[in-house]
Amino acid sequence: MSNLAGMQFSGSGVQMNPVFIDRPLMPLIPRALYCLLTTRLLFRTEVNMKVLVIGANGNTATRVIRRLAKSDHDAVAMIRDPAHRAKFDSLGVATVLADLEYPIDHAIQGCDAIIFAAGSGGKTGKDKTVLVDHLGAIRSMVAAQVHDVRLNIMLSSINNDIHSQSPIAHYHRAKAHADNHLVESGLDY
């Protein structure tokens, strides 16, 4: 059995500890960097995992999927638009159609890990930011709990604060609420 930053490997699989980095260090590490660190650890696991990437058609998620496609993990790209399927077919990556504004249990069922990289985008209104970045993220966590998908990596943002007064406060608040929910969810992140 070996140990890598909180993950214990044995012949039967991987056991994840609730966090990769001790919680007292969390305030010192920007959440986006924390996500990057945990994603890098995912690529180093010795166990094949089925990884659902939510928001797969975005720039960051596409980069993650390309790395997953070259790894021993089985990537699944969650997309809303069937026209995007060809992009992932060319990478040899399975797709599932789902929309964060509706139940996504069918997409999560059978997965071992989730990478949440969805975002409403900078050209949508505040309502879409709440629906995707806040409520959609929580919807994915609830479905993960129901289907026992323990490992959740969420792409976040720097300067998240539920009391944000920034020019994009609605975004920072939505991401902060989603991050806080993940921390309190009991899921591994």
Q: What pLDDT score does 43 carry? A: 57
Rounded mean pLDDT, 74-88: 97
Q: What pLDDT score does 121 carry? A: 80
Average pLDDT, rounded, for the chain: 81
> Whole-model pTM?
0.77
Residue 81, token pair as written in the block: 């638009």
Distance (Å, whole) CA 58 – CA 61:
5
> pLDDT of 15-65, one tens digit each?
333 333 334 444 444 444 445 555 555 655 557 899 999 999 999 999 999
The 10 Å Cβ neighbour count of residue 58 is 17
Residue/partner pairs of 37-42 with CB below 8 Å, 24 or more apart: 38/153, 38/189, 39/64, 39/115, 39/153, 41/4, 41/5, 41/7, 42/73, 42/113, 42/115, 42/151, 42/153
Provide the β-strand partners of residue 153. Answer: 115
Cα three-residue angle 50-131-112, rounded to 5 degrees: 10
**Percent of the chain with pLDDT strictly greater than 90:** 62
Return the SS3 of 152. Answer: strand
Nearest CA to 182 out of 146, 128, 139 is that of 139
Cα three-residue angle 129-131-134, rounded to 5 degrees: 75
Q: What pLDDT score does 42 carry? A: 60
Residue 50, token pair as written in the block: 């089925």
Question: Is the pLDDT score of 101 beyond 90?
Answer: yes
Can 189 be counted among the known catalytic residues?
no
More confident residue, 129 or 1: 129
Rounded mean pLDDT, 143-161: 92
> pLDDT of 123-139, one tens digit each?
888 889 999 999 999 99
Instruction: Name the active-site residue from 34, 102, 171, 189.
Output: 171
Distance (Å, whole) CA 72 – CA 68:
7
